[in-house]
């Protein structure tokens, strides 16, 4: 016999069924207005696109075939003496207008060694540009349109620290030189520090399609604000695999501010301490549950860290309340702080939480007395400089080291053939201490049968013996 529901229960069941039907109807509602049909990023792109440009860089390189040195070969083919031939190499990329006066930011690798730079606006006009500032440490460069006759559409900076995984972003650039292109995706990760692209490794990762030619282009949020400069992709084929990396806008802002202020180099805060990655073994010795923070390996006397009271063995865990997990994260957090103020550094010292205030100031520079070694010696062709805290910071060398540093071994030089590298510190030559560049120049000019050289490379001391 069928079971009858009480009248009240039946009404409740009908009500639930009605609500369920209403919910299903709402999920499948038919669009009834134009605005419901046309959900699009087009308004954002229309507003932002004029602020993104194509960048064309050209450099002249001299090519020379070995046969051109043969006078018989030159005479037979009627080639004049010298026989060298100039080729023009061209590179293309993208850029972002960041000031109405025509200031543009792009990647340094797009315009590296360029003798001529042009930019193409979204309306197809081509304009000449000059290089204002290059910052290889971040792979950023700032250009300026020559003789601007108008006010240009500039993109607004977003606070990249507020970007979250899952945010919708648009990438705008010039992939493969086909012209301005827009792709859409999400933020796949933030604070990527183990990418190995630049000195300051702290990238926004996105799955928006980025390809060669997008370098220097804009990554914008759903409001059309600049959150990053597209810089690199992870790819096995040369094309997009959905893993792209962008330099956060807060770092871009620092570089642009230096250029706008007339600087030829980016001014950043100097800590005056050598930092070390916390490995699982170090974390275990410190009683930590997992590797976290940055270990202070040494402190430069008289530097900001020393004056603030930082000590060797301190574990840095935060900068102004923002957590840091490795040296790259610290460099980014500290390096994007404005000069002239202070940064609150959170520490763990002996199991206790400590906070110190570090003054935000630049590293002191000394007369570098840069010169090229011209004497016949293992150093022939190398450019060397006196080591100062500022140069040590630039080359990521321990500021407490003394000696003369190789800033450029010289392409094709004897120094390069011997194996010297940029950043090598020459400590002594034939048991004589090297303090200034003139010391090295003098010793290099002396004829020697045996060269005994002590250098510092990557924190390790190496002894080298070479025949004269």
Q: Would you write out the chain's pLDDT as a tens digit for each of its 468 residues?
A: 333 333 333 334 434 444 444 444 445 566 677 766 667 889 999 999 999 999 999 987 655 555 555 565 555 555 555 555 556 678 889 999 999 999 999 999 999 988 899 999 999 899 999 999 999 889 999 999 998 888 999 999 999 999 999 999 999 999 988 889 999 999 999 988 877 777 778 899 999 999 889 999 999 999 999 999 999 887 666 677 888 999 999 999 999 999 998 888 888 999 999 899 999 998 888 888 888 899 999 898 889 999 999 999 999 999 999 999 999 999 999 999 999 999 999 999 988 999 999 999 999 888 889 999 999 999 999 999 998 888 888 887 877 778 899 999 998 899 999 899 999 999 999 999 999 999 999 999 998 889 999 999 987 888 888 876
d(CA 407, CA 423): 6
Point out the catalytic residue in the list 94, 109, 258, 408. Answer: 109
User: What is the pTM assigned to this prediction?
Assistant: 0.77
> What separation in angstroms does the CA of 154 have from each of 98, 225, 269?
5, 10, 28
Task: Name the CA radius of gyration of the chain, rounded.
Answer: 29
Residue 424 annotated to the active site: no
Report the length, in residues, of the chain. Answer: 468
Q: How far apart are CA 290 and CA 323, in angstroms?
A: 14
Specify whether 215 is catalytic.
Answer: yes
How many CB atoms lie under 10 A from the CB of residue 135? 21
DSSP 424: -
* Torsional sign, CA 135, 140, 141, 142: negative
**Phi, psi for 233 (deg, rounded to 5):** -130, 155
The gap from C-alpha 319 to its chain's centroid, in whole angstroms, comes to: 20
Q: Based on the number of CB atoms within 10 Å of its own CB, is 224 exposed (0-12), middle (13-18) or buried (19 or more)?
A: buried
Out of 215, 240, 249, 385, pick the active-site residue.
215
Residue ranges and CATH numbers for the domains of the chain are 42-267 (2.40.10.120), 273-359 (2.30.42.10), 371-467 (2.30.42.10)
Give the contacts of 203 (CB within 8 A, at least 6 positions apart): 191, 192, 193, 195, 197, 228, 231, 245, 246, 247, 248
Catalytic residue among 94, 120, 135, 139: 139
d(CA 445, CA 447): 6
- 109 is a catalytic site residue: yes
């Amino acid at each position: 016999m069928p079971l009858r529901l009480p009248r009240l229960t039946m009404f409740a069941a009908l009500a639930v069924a009605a609500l369920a039907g209403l919910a299903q109807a709402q999920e499948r509602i038919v669009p009834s207005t134009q605005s419901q049909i046309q959900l699009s990023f087009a308004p954002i792109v229309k507003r932002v696109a004029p602020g993104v440009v194509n960048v064309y860089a050209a450099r002249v390189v001299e090519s020379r075939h070995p046969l051109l040195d043969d006078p018989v070969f030159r005479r037979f083919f009627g080639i004049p003496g010298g026989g060298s031939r100039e080729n023009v190499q061209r590179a293309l990329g993208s850029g972002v207008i960041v000031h109405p006066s025509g200031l543009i930011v792009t990647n340094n690798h797009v315009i590296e060694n360029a003798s001529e730079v042009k930019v193409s606006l979204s309306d197809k006009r081509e304009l000449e540009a000059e290089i204002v500032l290059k910052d290889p440490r971040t792979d950023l460069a700032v250009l300026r349109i020559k003789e601007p006759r108008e006010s240009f559409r500039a993109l607004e900076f977003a606070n990249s620290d507020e970007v979250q995984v899952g945010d919708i972003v648009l990438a705008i650039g010039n992939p493969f030189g086909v012209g301005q292109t827009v792709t859409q995706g999400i933020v796949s990760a933030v604070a990527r520090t183990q990418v190995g692209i630049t000195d300051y490794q702290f990238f926004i990762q996105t799955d928006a399609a980025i390809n060669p030619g997008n370098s220097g282009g804009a990554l914008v949020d759903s409001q059309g604000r600049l959150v990053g400069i597209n810089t690199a992709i992870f790819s096995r084929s040369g094309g997009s695999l959905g893993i792209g990396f962008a330099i956060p806008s807060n770092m871009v802002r620092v570089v642009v501010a230096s250029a706008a202020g007339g600087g030829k180099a980016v001014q950043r805060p100097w800590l005056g301490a050598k930092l070390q990655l916390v490995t699982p073994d170090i974390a275990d010795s410190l009683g930590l549950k997992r590797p976290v923070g940055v270990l202070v390996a040494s402190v430069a006397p008289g530097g900001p860290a020393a004056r603030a009271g930082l000590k060797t063995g301190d574990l840095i865990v935060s900068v102004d309340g923002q957590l840091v997990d490795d040296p790259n994260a610290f460099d980014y957090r500290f390096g994007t702080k404005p000069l002239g103020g202070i940064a609150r550094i959170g520490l763990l010292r002996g199991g206790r939480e400590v906070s110190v205030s570090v003054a935000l100031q630049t590293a002191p520079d000394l007369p570098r007395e840069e010169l090229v070694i011209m004497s016949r010696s293992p150093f022939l062709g190398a450019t060397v400089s006196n080591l100062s805290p500022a140069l040590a910071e630039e080359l990521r060398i321990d500021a407490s080291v003394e000696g003369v540093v190789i800033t450029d071994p010289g392409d094709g030089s004897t120094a390069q053939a011997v194996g010297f590298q940029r950043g090598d510190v020459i400590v002594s030559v034939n048991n004589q201490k090297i303090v200034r560049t003139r010391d090295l120049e003098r010793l290099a000019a002396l004829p020697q049968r045996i060269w005994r050289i002590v250098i510092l490379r990557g924190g390790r001391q190496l002894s080298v013996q070479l025949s004269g």
